[in-house]
Amino acid sequence: KNASVFLQELVEDLQLEEHEAEIVRVVDGDTIVVNTKDGVEERVRLLLIDTPESVHPTEPEQLFGKESSDYAKEILREGDVVELEVGESPRDRYGRLLAYVWIDGVNFNQLMIEKGYARVAYVYEPNTKYLEEFRKAEEKAKKQKNNIWSIDGYVTEKGFDMSVVND
């Protein structure tokens, strides 16, 4: 084969599959930026999870916000190829793509819950495909007092309550 044919095949091999995307950066524990197959840069909000704030325009950083974000950055590295399972209702009111992110066959959204870096949240039909698995993972993280669950009363129905955190 000549070099140009070889290079062409190499480029084709690098083409992303239909639901694949390349990590551009992790914004925080529940939001990432990816490049899609079409070369479009998309901001992706991870479905059914909420992590403490680490970079919010109006909110202060919350406990475990940085740890949650750092963990996400450790798992989802720039250039990694992930699979996006986009929600049945594909976008939120901010225009972000809503998705479950799979890396090496692992549901990253669920991993964040298992590690105690995220709570199950923003449960809106029809985007509830893995709700049962996520709730089980949350129960387990709660029992093990992982991270966000290590301080009684910190995780609430509405989010995270910094008032229970002793400085």
Which residues are catalytically annotated?
45, 53, 96
Here the tokens at position 38 are 């079409």
As a whole number of angstroms, the distance between CA 95 and CA 65 comes to 23
Element (H, E) at 140: helix 131-143
In 9-141, which ranges are E strands? 20-28, 31-36, 41-46, 49-50, 81-91, 97-103, 106-107, 119-120
Sign of CA dihedral 79, 104, 91, 135: negative
As a whole number of angstroms, the distance between CA 101 and CA 79 comes to 14
As a whole number of angstroms, the distance between CA 150 and CA 30 comes to 20
